[in-house]
Amino acid sequence: MNRETAWRVFAGEYNDSTLDMSDGGERSPTYVVTPLGAKVNRLFVVGVLTDMENVGTEQGPMWRGRITDPTGTFHIYAGQFQPAAAAAMSKLKPPVFAAVSGKSRVYKPDSGATYVSIRPEIVKVVDANLRDYWVLESCQSLKKRLEAAREAYQMNPPTVGELLKLGCSSSLSAGLVAAVAHYGNVDLSRYSSMLAESLRYLLPEFQESRPPETEEVIKVEEKVAEKAPEKGADDQLEADILALIEQLDKDGKGASWDAILEGAKKHKVDRDKLEELVNVLLDKGLVYEPVLGRMKKI
Amino acid sequence: MQEEIASHARDISRALGGKVSEKEIENELNNYLNVYRVSLDTAKRSIVRKHGGDPTGLQLGVSKTIKELIPGEQSVDMLCRIVSVDGRQIDVEGGAKDILYGILGDQTGTVPFTAWVVEGLDLHKGDVVRVRNAYTKEFRGQVQVNFGNRTTLAKESADALPPYEPGKGSVPRGPPTPMKVVDLKEGSSNVSLIVRVLDVEKREVQVNGDAKTVFSGTFADETGKVKFSAWKDFSISPSDTLKIEGGYVKAWRGIPQFSFDERSAVSKLEASTLPTVEELEKSPRVWIEDLAERGGAIDVVVRGIVIDIKEGSGLVYRCPECKRVLRKMACRIHGEVQGTPDLRVKAVVDDGSGALIAVLGKELTEGLLGKTLEACITEAKENMSQEVVRDQLADLLVAQPVEVRGNVTSDDYGLMMIVDGAKILKVDVEQEARAMLEELEGLEDTA
């Protein structure tokens, strides 16, 4: 009985998962299988904990946190059955760099949608260096799976035996065969650009496109602001978007992302720019995301 | 078969004190075997229990050949030859106990055995015995036969089984398979290997009561290192470059070990065939998933992130007799003792492809903590808790990239590295990311 591997998987790939499986047998573990065949029972993620909330009760707390990486957001939930992780989470003050190891969870409501999350075992505050190291590891891991998926798509249908012969691990071979059976041949360009984007994220020459996340990045922006007068324009846009979000929040549940995007066009703000601005607002604590895809002014 | 069923039905009926007729039991037994298709052993026990009897009253086991044995048999009969037998004392609760151990053989194979009750047992090499009511277990992936309280042994005439021929069936056939050190797996046979000798020593060992000379040491090629045993004097010396044909691989705690003997051919090659000894002495970096497939390895480097510090890390107390770590100040074997303090870390190191438990001893732990065992004892006393040291280690190491070097073994609980060297890993993330990105963009340009 080998310990389950802690996969390094980007949120962008993990959240695309709609397949869960077990190897059969009563006590065999369950896995979330990503479109690229990572068979995830345990994962290790490092990112920015952007918000944290007790969605349970005072007596029976259930902590929900969001951790963002360069590709998306992990959702983590810790309650009374994860006492150590829940205690650690309750002490965190977002935004902060956090490392989490935990178990993959799947929630499939009747609507037919699939939500994957993480049930943490260990939560720890870390620094930007570790986040960068994790992004690198996750890139290496993603690259391996991309290459294996390209090979698998050449086979019709792929088999565990053939993939093993190509040097894939037994876990990835089994995962890819299950993934191809469930997802079919997915568009790999989404994941190859995810890989390239994440690598650029680590390089200073591409830092311009780095989505702002934390006080560290805000500091960088302050420096930029000193020598770049157009920064003032950004401040104006931030104020405009904030006003827009407030205006669109008609029912008190927050403004939907699509509506904000539509409204932002008037300010000549495209999708990328809008994401950047909203992230700044999130970091400044001026807005928050009550549910996925909705923004609300605080 | 039907005749055999009848005798088993008689056995069941006897175990039930004759309160159910043999005919009825025979029908029932047939039903279990042919309709529900459970094993004969399970069927017999189930029937006895169903009628309120005690299955240990069954006397007639299921006769099997060695090849047919599976782990977990509760009652098995066999006709076999004692290939080797040896005695020793083991420590059990309540003092020392004598046991016999050795190897059983028949025409289908060999299997290790242990006799837990030695009174009245007179076994000699070459004896042919009829064993009844033995049981089997699995130990490190191999079936083992056990003789317990209920087991009976009866000597048969020597010609009841064909004589055992050592090595029969394992003589190299056909050309040997060329392999690299990294490919060696437990059970590989008729292997051809090109290696350099890093070290070698001559030892006298006892094999089944006979004195033998073995030359053992370490081989290496560009893929890794492996321990070897040569059961014949091939006049091997350090730094020789050798080609060995017809070797085989056994495992010790999962670590593949290379053996060869008088049936193997050894030839010396040009020194330039392989890198220098200094080059080969470096420990190769490996992925944990590859270690898991190999079962273990000697002297390898693993890079990963510490994702947990296991219980029993930090300040521990050991039994002065057996060095076991005490739980609640008592030793599992020797009871309450005055423990000797020690420091260690049992860390889960995960590289994204797999995980292993890395065990660091006192010196390495002191180095990581930056303080001595004595300082830790003082702190534990001040805080009234041994756990304070473990907490410090967790603060220091969890979520920390590390590089560890050592030998990796495996058992039912997975992989374990006894760490010889450890360091906090510093990686130039930028440089590696740039190299990867350039490689990707290069691919796109050519595509």
> For an interface test with B, which of A97, A123, A137 has the most B Cβ atoms less than 10 Å from its Cβ?
A137
Report yes or no: B438 at the A interface, CB cutoff 8 Å: no
Token output for B249: 């691989």
Q: How far apart are CA A287 and CA B167, in angstroms?
A: 77
- The pLDDT, as a whole number, for residue B173 is 55
- Does residue A221 register a pLDDT over 50? no
- Does residue A223 register a pLDDT over 60? no
Fold annotation for A1-207 = OB fold (Dihydrolipoamide Acetyltransferase, E2P) (2.40.50)
- pLDDT tens figures, A28-62: 889 999 999 999 999 999 999 998 888 888 888 89
Subunit contact B289:A2, Cβ cutoff 8 A: no
**Chain B residues in contact with A206 (beta carbon < 8 A):** none
- The pLDDT, as a whole number, for residue A232 is 63
Assign A222 a pLDDT band (cuts: 50, 70, 90): very low
- Nearest residue of A to residue B352, measured between CA atoms: A7
**Chain A residues in contact with B413 (beta carbon < 8 A):** 1
Subunit contact B352:A140, Cβ cutoff 8 A: yes
**Chain A residues in contact with B286 (beta carbon < 8 A):** none
Subunit contact A133:B437, Cβ cutoff 8 A: no
Compute the nearest-CA separation of B352 from chain A (Å): 5
Report yes or no: A5 at the B interface, CB cutoff 8 Å: yes
Q: What's the whole-number mean pLDDT along residues A191-206?
A: 93
* B contact residues 325-364, partner A, Cβ 8 Å cutoff: 348, 350, 352-357
Fold annotation for B177-280 = OB fold (Dihydrolipoamide Acetyltransferase, E2P) (2.40.50)
- Nearest residue of B to residue A138, measured between CA atoms: B352
% of chain A exceeding 90 in pLDDT = 49
HSE, CB side, 13 Å, CA atoms: give it for residue B125: 12
Q: How far apart are CA A170 and CA A180, in angstroms?
A: 16
Write the secondary structure of A240-268 as one string of H (helix), E (strand) and C (coil).
HHHHHHHHHCCCCCCEEHHHHHHHHHHHC
Subunit contact B437:A136, Cβ cutoff 8 A: no
Phi, psi of A229, deg, nearest 5? -65, -30
- The pLDDT, as a whole number, for residue A238 is 84
Q: Which of A155, A85, A95 is nearest to A281 (CA)?
A: A95
The CATH-assigned architecture of domain B63-160 is: Beta Barrel (2.40)
Report yes or no: B440 at the A interface, CB cutoff 8 Å: yes
Cross-chain CB nearest to A101 (options B288, B307, B412) = B307
The number of helix segments (H) and strand segments (E) in chain B equals 9, 22
Q: Which of B116, B148, B138, B141 is nearest to B72 (CA)?
A: B138
Subunit contact A2:B415, Cβ cutoff 8 A: yes
Q: How far apart are CA B57 and CA B39, in angstroms?
A: 18
Subunit contact B350:A44, Cβ cutoff 8 A: yes
- Nearest residue of B to residue A142, measured between CA atoms: B352
Which residues contact residue B104 at a Cβ distance below 8 angstroms, ignoring those fewer than 6 apart? B66, B78, B80, B81, B82, B83, B110, B111, B112, B113, B131, B145
User: Do B252 and B174 touch, CB atoms closer than 8 A?
Assistant: no
Q: How far apart are CA A119 and CA A109, in angstroms?
A: 18
DSSP state of B181: G
- pLDDT tens figures, B73-90: 888 889 999 988 988 888
- Does residue A208 register a pLDDT over 70? no
**What are the residue ranges in chain B where pLDDT is below 50?**
168-172, 447
- pLDDT tens figures, A147-195: 999 999 999 889 999 999 888 888 999 999 999 999 999 999 999 999 9
Phi, psi of B102, deg, nearest 5? 170, -155
Subunit contact B440:A121, Cβ cutoff 8 A: no
Q: Which residue has the higher pLDDT, A129 or B443?
A: A129
**Chain B residues in contact with A170 (beta carbon < 8 A):** 293
- Does residue A6 register a pLDDT over 80? yes
- Specify the 3-state DSSP secondary structure of B347: strand
Cross-chain CB nearest to B308 (options A122, A126, A199) = A122
Compute the nearest-CA separation of A236 from chain B (Å): 34
User: Do A282 and A50 touch, CB atoms closer than 8 A?
Assistant: yes
User: How many contacts does A have with B, using Cβ atoms within 8 A?
Assistant: 93
**Chain A residues in contact with B352 (beta carbon < 8 A):** 5-8, 44, 137, 140-141
Burial B7-27 (b: 16+ CB within 10 A, else e): ebbebbbebbeeebebeebbe
Phi, psi of B133, deg, nearest 5? 60, 40
Report yes or no: B57 at the A interface, CB cutoff 8 Å: no
- pLDDT tens figures, A81-123: 888 899 999 888 888 999 999 999 999 888 888 899 999 999 9
Asked if this assembly's ipTM is beyond 0.90, the reply is: no
- The pLDDT, as a whole number, for residue A226 is 42
Q: How far apart are CA B126 and CA B105, in angstroms?
A: 10
Report yes or no: A124 at the B interface, CB cutoff 8 Å: yes
Subunit contact B352:A44, Cβ cutoff 8 A: yes
Q: What does chain A look like in DSSP terms, one character per residue? A: -PPPPEE---HHHHTT--EEEE-SSTTPPEEEE-TT--EESEEEEEEEEEEEEE-S-SSS--EEEEEEETTEEEEEEE-TTSHHHHHHHHT--SSEEEEEEEEEEEE--TTS--EEEEEEEEEEE--HHHHHHHHHHHHHHHHHHHHHHHHHHHSSS--HHHHHHTT--HHHHHHHHHHHHHH-S--THHHHHHHHHHHHHTSGGGGGGSPP-SHHHHHHHHHHHHH-TTHHHHHHHHHHHHHHHHHH--SSS-EEHHHHHHHHGGGT--HHHHHHHHHHHHHTTSEE-SSTTEEEE-
**Chain B residues in contact with A7 (beta carbon < 8 A):** 352
Compute the nearest-CA separation of B176 from chain A (Å): 21
CATH of domain A211-297: 1.10.10
Mean of all residue pLDDT scores within chain A: 86
- Specify the 3-state DSSP secondary structure of B334: coil
Cross-chain CB nearest to A124 (options B353, B398, B430) = B398
Subunit contact A132:B429, Cβ cutoff 8 A: yes
Compute the nearest-CA separation of B441 from chain A (Å): 9
C-alpha to C-alpha distances, A42 to A117, B56, B85, B307, nearest whole angstrom: 11, 44, 47, 11
Compute the nearest-CA separation of B445 from chain A (Å): 14
Report field, pTM of the whole predicted structure over 0.90: no
Cross-chain CB nearest to B352 (options A1, A5, A203) = A5
Report yes or no: B432 at the A interface, CB cutoff 8 Å: yes
Cα angle B51, B53, B55 (rounded to 5 degrees) comes to 120
The crossing angle, in degrees rounded to 10, of helices A189-201 and B429-446 is 140
C-alpha to C-alpha distances, B273 to A112, A122, B247, B265, nearest whole angstrom: 62, 49, 20, 18
The sign of the CA dihedral B292, A33, A137, A173 is positive
Provide the residue ranges of all domains of chain A, joining segments of one domain with +: 1-207, 211-297
Q: Is B121 exposed, middle or buried (0-12, 13-18, 19+ CB in 10 A)?
A: middle
- The pLDDT, as a whole number, for residue A73 is 94
CATH of domain B288-429: 2.40.50.140
Phi, psi of B167, deg, nearest 5? 75, 0
> For an interface test with B, which of A14, A133, A145, A170 has the most B Cβ atoms less than 10 Å from its Cβ?
A133
Subunit contact B355:A4, Cβ cutoff 8 A: yes
Phi, psi of B434, deg, nearest 5? -65, -45
- Does residue A2 register a pLDDT over 50? yes
Residue reference for tokens 């890139």: A139
Separation of CA B296 from chain center: 10
CA torsion, ordered A210, A214, A216, A220, to nearest 10 deg? 50
Subunit contact B354:A141, Cβ cutoff 8 A: no
Report yes or no: B424 at the A interface, CB cutoff 8 Å: no
